[in-house]
Amino acid sequence: MAIGTLAIRDRVFAVTSAELMGYITAVGDEWACKWHIDIEADERTFPSDDSEYPLVWKPHAYVHHLGAKARSWRDFDGAVFAGEDEQGEELSVLRAETAFRLYVFEHAPVARNRLAFSNRDGHLFDLTWTGAAGVFFDDEFYDDVPFRVEAKVQFTRVALSLSTTDHDAPAPPVAEIFASVLDPAAFRQLPTRESLKSSGYRTWDTDFVPA
């Protein structure tokens, strides 16, 4: 079911999923929440005279490490973010800089970004995201192509994952760490999942969902 549109110049695609989520990580000596947006669109097929290029476009747009100082997922209602991609060619979710990306044939940085959240309904928001990115397809869609998303984005969860190589360590204070970063009243803590990885790390994974 379509929940909005993703337009690349005059080519419009139905948005099939749009997610806002966060994860808590250590930044220096402090804990912080990093926010991500992930948008998937239906594929469309276009005619082409060049058989070397695929005819199927299936855009994927995403933001890693959106610079939001929110204490709650509800704080996104009415929030507006603007900026440029900071990661360049060395794209990695492990880096702290913000990445705005549009993927059609390559993970292209999006320039002149403006993201606006509005009209919260439960844990859904209206999201409008504009910018420009390279598609690298032909002269019309090669570089600096106007890009626009208008979709219902759903906040799903904040994830907290903690690990240690000390197999005798006590369980970490998950709720205490979370409360140092976000407002617990806006979330419901799910059961913590403990596991022992093949790497030897003992790991605790906890999701916090909207209350």
CA nearest neighbour of 77 among 35, 32, 40, 122: 122
Q: Domain tally for the chain? A: 2
pLDDT tens digits, 103-115: 999 999 999 999 9
Range of the domain at 170: 158-210
Residues 19 and 34 in one domain: yes
pLDDT tens digits, 185-207: 999 999 999 998 888 889 999 99
pTM equals 0.90
Residues 9 and 63 in one domain: yes
Residues 133 and 171 in one domain: no
The predicted model gives 39-58 an average pLDDT of 83
Cα 67 to Cα 50, 52, 64, 83, 200: the distances in Å are 40, 39, 9, 9, 33
Residues 77 and 135 in one domain: yes
CB 135 within 8 A of CB 141: yes
Question: Distance of alpha carbon 145 from its chain centroid, rounded?
Answer: 21
Residues 147 and 176 in one domain: no
Which pLDDT belongs to residue 53? 63
Residues 55 and 114 in one domain: yes
Residues 163 and 205 in one domain: yes
Question: End of a domain among 156, 176, 201?
Answer: 156
Residues 138 and 191 in one domain: no
Residues 182 and 152 in one domain: no
What's the number of CA atoms in the CB half-sphere (13 Å) around residue 157? 10
Helices (H), 38-197: 174-179
Residues 151 and 64 in one domain: yes
Which pLDDT belongs to residue 54? 59
